[in-house]
Amino acid sequence: MVQVPDVLAGDVRGVARALSVVEQGGPEAEGLMRTLRGRLGSAQTVGITGAPGVGKSTLVQALGIALVGAGTRVAVLAVDPSSPFSGGALLGDRVRMPDLLERGAFVRSMATRGALGGLAVATSDALDVLDAAGFDWILVETVGVGQDEVDIAGEVHTVVLVTVGGLGDEVQAAKAGVMEIANIFAVNKTDQVSADGQVAAIESALALAPPAAWQPPVVRTSALTGEGIEGLRASLLDHRRFLDDGGRRSEAHRRRARRRVERLVSAMIQERIRGPLAAAFDEVLEDVGRGELDPYAAARRLLETVHREAR
Ligand SMILES: Nc1nc2c(ncn2[C@@H]2O[C@H](COP(=O)(O)OP(=O)(O)O)[C@@H](O)[C@H]2O)c(=O)[nH]1
Ligand SMILES: [Mg+2]
């Protein structure tokens, strides 16, 4: 059982237990979200995204240490859709971030064990758990952006896109269609490879974008030597301040709520037609198969059944 007071107090074991509950999904997760409602909205959430190997985990650790050093409470959530069930991955990021753990940050890999709506819903709920637990910063490491099962951009306040220069693929960021999604660009491994080409490519791509109130900064970092980490932290603070202006934060929260509820509606319908309404679903499918019903009419009939049963 999750002890809600423990979660609200930020007790590590209580928070860990709550995260297991949201991974599991089901009535307990739903109940937990109900209890936490009203205790949310104080955390600043940051997605750290980019291709495998660019140094996201290392950067998260360095950034986390800088944030802890500044006297704030930090939680790290590693979301990797490619290894949702891997116990190895579960331990991997914990052992890869020992220095951060040592400084009292909370580090956890997300998995999903059948939560309604999968990893996306579980991750969203996990952000709320960590928010309610009083963390000032929640750093979410995820692979890729936009096309993923977990589209982190809509979930967090700030998206940091990490790339590395010198791969002979300087426009990779522009091509991937993530220019609009990233709020901050980090060109990493500057100790190893020159960032110049990549920085120039990003800046010229940004120059083509329509003028916006927020101009994404391009920060050069070395997660290994610590170069640029303070600059990255400063950019995060800038973006947080930017969101606090003119109701941007509440607008972002409304957008997130909309996506979340939409996702849950779809997931709940899926769950019904695969579960309690499976027989009705089969029947409708047979009618479609026999040519007695077109797919649109079938879908409408099924929706009506869902609606009737839900009352
Ligand atoms: N030289 C150098 N290596 C780095 C830097 N950041 C990360 N790495 C290394 O790059 C490899 C991949 O890093 P990791 O953080 O696991 O990347 P991720 O897959 O994006 O999370 C590891 O061997 C890191 O030690 C950096 O700034 N400079
Ligand atoms: Mg990683």
Q: Tell me the pLDDT tens digit for each residue of 239-282.
A: 999 999 989 999 999 999 999 999 999 999 999 999 999 999 99
Residue nearest to atom 26 of ligand 1 (CA): 189
Confidence of residue 90 (pLDDT cuts 50, 70, 90): very low
What lines the ligand 1 site, CB under 6 Å? 52-58, 188-189, 191-192, 222-224
pLDDT at 86 over 50: no
CA 43 / ligand 1 centre spacing (Å): 27
pLDDT score at 88: 41
DSSP string, 245-303: STTHHHHHHHHHHHHHHHHHHHHHHHHHHHTTTHHHHHHHHHHHHTTSS-HHHHHHHHH
pLDDT at 58 over 60: yes
Of residues 94 and 7, more confidence is placed in 7
Of residues 84 and 71, more confidence is placed in 71
Domain 4-245, CATH class in plain words: alpha beta
DSSP run (H or E) holding 13: helix 12-24
pLDDT score at 112: 74
pLDDT at 53 over 50: yes
Do 165 and 203 meet the contact criterion of CB atoms below 8 Å apart? no
Residue 227 CA: nearest ligand 1 atom is: 27
The pick from 58, 109, 192, 224 for probing ligand 1's pocket by mutation, whose C-beta has the most ligand atoms within 8 angstroms, reads: 58
Domain coordinates in residue numbering, the chain: 4-245, 275-310
pLDDT score at 7: 95
pLDDT score at 51: 85
Distances (CA, A) of 152 to 6, 26, 121, 204: 27, 22, 11, 25
pLDDT digits (tens, 9 = 90+) for 220-235: 999 999 999 999 999 9
Q: Which of 2-11, 31-40, 78-87, 139-148 has the lowest average pLDDT?
A: 78-87
What is the average pLDDT across 22-35? 94
The DSSP code for 147 is: S
Of residues 82 and 32, more confidence is placed in 32
Residue nearest to atom 12 of ligand 1 (CA): 53
Of residues 84 and 288, more confidence is placed in 288
What is the average pLDDT across 163-191? 77
pLDDT at 89 over 80: no
Residue nearest to atom 22 of ligand 1 (CA): 55
CA 227 / ligand 2 centre spacing (Å): 19
Residue nearest to atom 7 of ligand 1 (CA): 55
Contacts of 80 (CB under 8 A, 6+ apart): 89, 109, 110, 141, 142, 143
CA 240 / ligand 2 centre spacing (Å): 24
pLDDT score at 142: 87
pLDDT at 117 over 60: yes
pLDDT score at 286: 97
Which residues on neighbouring strands pair with residue 107, listed in sequence order? 76
Residue 222 CA: nearest ligand 1 atom is: 27
Distance CA 115, CA 25 (A): 4
